[in-house]
């Protein structure tokens, strides 16, 4: 078991830096390898010196390691599950870049989140100067998002005015006369 655990830990080590799932598998294999080493060492100490307490001590050491690793990874996992804004992306910077695209008047209701650890998503309302070039503007925005911010999935809602009246109440609506 020790040889297999060490071998699989070595195989998964490089990819564990890129993926939470692979990192979990890597840590599982490392923990299993440590447990195997702990059993061998503890067994030897019990046989040679009759130190029965080393069994409980080794259990606490291994459990502490697992707990420490879990707590260390928890913030990243929670951030991903709660669809937090990806690290390194400033919403204001993305909004400004979109508004610099020719044909865009303004943006609002902009949200950016992680689909998974390698793909980011964006949803935004985009107010256009006119609908004539909507497809061209959409392509330019999507290209900008991918190239500058590595946002690979975007949903854009195009508008003529600042937000059509609807059920959304978390931002301003224009007054209708």
pLDDT digits (tens, 9 = 90+) for 20-77: 889 999 999 999 999 999 999 999 999 999 999 999 999 999 999 999 999 999 999 9
Instruction: Give the relative orientation of helices 2-13 and 20-49 as an angle to the nearest 10 degrees.
Output: 150
Is residue 163's pLDDT more than 70?
no
Give DSSP secondary structure letters for 78-108.
HHHHTTPPPTT--HHHHHHHHHTSTTEEEEE
Residue 58 lies in a domain: yes
pLDDT at residue 161, as a whole number: 74
* Co-location of 152 and 107 in the same domain: yes
* Co-location of 76 and 13 in the same domain: yes
Give the end of a domain, one of 38, 57, 81.
81
Q: What is the spatial distance between Cα 10 and Cα 29, in angstroms, rounded to a whole number? A: 9
Q: What is the spatial distance between Cα 42 and Cα 9, in angstroms, rounded to a whole number? A: 22
Tell me how far CA of residue 50 lies from CA of 38, 54, 61, in angstroms: 16, 9, 19
For 105, the domain range is 91-159
In contact, 2 and 37? CB cutoff 8 Å: yes
* Co-location of 9 and 71 in the same domain: yes
Residue 160 — very low, low, confident or very high, per pLDDT cuts 50/70/90?
Answer: confident
Residue 168 lies in a domain: no
What is the pTM (predicted TM-score) of this model?
A: 0.72
In the chain, the number of structural domains is: 2
Torsion of CA 80, 83, 88, 91, to 10 degrees: 180
Closest CA to 124 of 150, 151, 147: 151
Is residue 166's pLDDT more than 80?
no
Residue 36 lies in a domain: yes
pLDDT at residue 177, as a whole number: 42
CATH number of the domain enclosing 152: 3.30.70.1350
Is residue 173's pLDDT more than 60?
no
Give DSSP secondary structure letters for 143-155.
HHHHHHH-EEEEE
pLDDT at residue 35, as a whole number: 93
* Co-location of 53 and 110 in the same domain: no
Residue 32 lies in a domain: yes
* Co-location of 50 and 112 in the same domain: no
- pLDDT, tens digit, for every residue of 82-121? 999 999 999 999 999 999 999 999 999 999 999 988 899 9
Is residue 165's pLDDT more than 60?
no
């Amino acid at each position: 078991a020790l040889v297999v655990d060490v071998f699989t830990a070595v195989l998964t080590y490089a990819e564990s830096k890129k993926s939470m799932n692979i990192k979990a598998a890597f840590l599982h294999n490392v923990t299993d390898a440590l447990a195997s080493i702990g059993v061998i060492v503890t067994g030897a100490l019990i046989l040679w010196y009759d130190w029965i307490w080393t069994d409980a001590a080794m259990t606490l050491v291994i459990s502490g390691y697992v707990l420490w690793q879990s707590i260390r990874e928890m913030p990243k996992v929670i951030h991903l599950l709660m669809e937090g804004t990806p690290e390194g992306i400033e919403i204001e910077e993305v909004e400004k870049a979109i508004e610099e695209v020719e044909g865009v008047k303004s943006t609002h209701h902009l949200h950016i989140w992680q689909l998974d650890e390698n793909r980011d998503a964006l949803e935004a309302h985009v107010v256009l100067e006119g609908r004539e070039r909507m497809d061209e503007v959409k392509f330019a925005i999507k290209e900008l998002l991918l190239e500058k911010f590595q946002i690979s999935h975007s949903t854009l809602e195009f508008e003529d005015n600042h937000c059509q009246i609807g059920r959304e109440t978390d931002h301003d609506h224009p007054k209708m006369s």
